[in-house]
Structure 1
Amino acid sequence: MRELTYYIASSLDGFIGDPHTGDGAFFEQLASGEYHRFMFDEFSDTLPTFAREHLGLEGKPLTRFDTVIQGRRSNQVAYDQGVTSPYAHLRQYVASRTLTEYPDPAVELIRDDLVGKVRELKAEEGGLGIYLCGGGDIAGQLIDEIDELIIKTYPFLVGSGIPMASAGFALRQYELSDCRTFDNGAIVATYRKIR
């Protein structure tokens, strides 16, 4: 059975994006040195295709993920720059209640029953994992389907913004399975769902 991994950048106070634009790219200003090398070595599957090409990683085999699910607002960042297939090296899905069609045949639109579609993908035999690429609303909808959290915590307090997961209050327990600290102050922690 395949697993759904929510791989996300967060502030110390649990926010993943600007409250007005939804963009979380400001976190990446700390992506340098040892941290940068670790991210490219361990998580190159999660880089958009244009970044993989720019960094000479386009031929690197996939190691963690072969499928990506994005919310419409997360996808909109690339779409606004004219990129309709941001993760062409992966099987791509965009979840949206408002879009009626998607302009690129390489991307499948999920309009309803997001949880059912994720369960279908998780039940597939073989393959690598499923990368949940934000944002907080889609993570909230899929909170009970998330098997693993990989949280890149950056040493910033931002005060407000898009929360990591917009879900109703309930305790959902995870156990820490890995934690790395870096000289830029970032922490990458991996948590596994306790069944």
Structure 2
Amino acid sequence: MRKLTYYVACSLDGFIGDPHGDASSMFQFMDEEYAAFMNTEYPDTLPTAFRAAVGLADVPNKRFDTVIQGLGSYRLALDAGITSPYAHLREIVATRSLTESPDPNVELVAGDLAARVRELKAEDGSLGIWLCGGAQVAGQLVEEIDELVIKSYPQVYGSGMPMFGADFALRDFALDGVRTFGNGVVVRTYTRKR
């Protein structure tokens, strides 16, 4: 069975963006060492246009063949005139307000997102499903998440958009690995204890 991975950037205090969801302050940490790691280990998570710009356009998907995101995350691309930001992946956008997909590669899900994820997980294939964000979508899918890849940036927000917009409930994960970088970024990988 395929797995759902929440691959997400956050501040030291667990916020994925400011109160409006803006995480652009984290971009300052993209140095050569960290970019090499991202390009090598998680090239699928780079937007298609960026992949082309850094010479990764022809690199096959390594970890994921599908991305799931909420309208807030997707809106960043739409506002820039990009209707399929991850054209190298199957794109699913959770939204109740957008009723018609602006791109044939983008599937809109207004109903039971967790049920759709269970369908995706049951498909044949060795590549996984990437949960891109945001907090409300992660909250809806928290019971379906099999793996967490948390990129912690050396910043404290104090408040903002949490990693999960969900009610309190304990969910245990086991630490699989930690990777540190000279810029202060720490990437931790966890597997869901079931």
**TM-score, normalised via structure 2 length:** 0.98
Q: Which residue of 1 aligns with 2:83?
A: 84
Q: Which residue of 2 aligns with 1:70?
A: 69
Q: Which residue of 1 aligns with 2:130?
A: 131
Corresponding letter in the other structure for 2:18: D
Q: Distance in 1 between matches of 2:50 and 2:116?
A: 28
Q: Distance in 2 between matches of 1:26 and 1:171?
A: 30
Q: Distance in 2 between matches of 1:75 and 1:26?
A: 19
Count of matched residue pairs:
194
Q: Distance in 2 between matches of 1:123 and 1:23?
A: 33
Q: Distance in 2 between matches of 1:35 and 1:101?
A: 37
* SS of equivalent residue, structure 2 residue 42: helix
Q: Distance in 2 between matches of 1:127 and 1:192?
A: 17
**Maintained 8 Å contact 1:23/1:77:** no
Q: Which residue of 1 aligns with 2:23?
A: 24
Q: Distance in 2 between matches of 1:97 and 1:189?
A: 32
Q: Which residue of 2 aligns with 1:102?
A: 101
Corresponding letter in the other structure for 2:10: S
* SS of equivalent residue, structure 2 residue 133: coil
Q: Distance in 2 between matches of 1:33 and 1:27?
A: 15
| 1:193 aligns to 2:192 (yes or no) | yes
* SS of equivalent residue, structure 1 residue 93: strand
Q: Which residue of 1 aligns with 2:149?
A: 150
**Offset at residue 144 of structure 1 (A):** 0.4
Deviates more, 1:175-184 or 1:96-105: 96-105
Q: Distance in 2 between matches of 1:62 and 1:104?
A: 21
**Offset at residue 37 of structure 1 (A):** 0.8
Q: Which residue of 1 aligns with 2:15?
A: 15
**TM-score, normalised via structure 1 length:** 0.97
Q: Distance in 1 between matches of 2:3 and 2:161?
A: 24
Corresponding letter in the other structure for 1:118: V
RMSD: 0.8
CA deviation digits over 1:4-48, x for unaligned, max 9? 00000000000001212x122321210102111111110110000
* SS of equivalent residue, structure 1 residue 133: strand
CA deviation digits over 1:138-182, x for unaligned, max 9? 000000000000000000001111000011101100000010011
Q: Distance in 2 between matches of 1:125 and 1:104?
A: 25
Percent sequence identity over matched residues?
Answer: 60
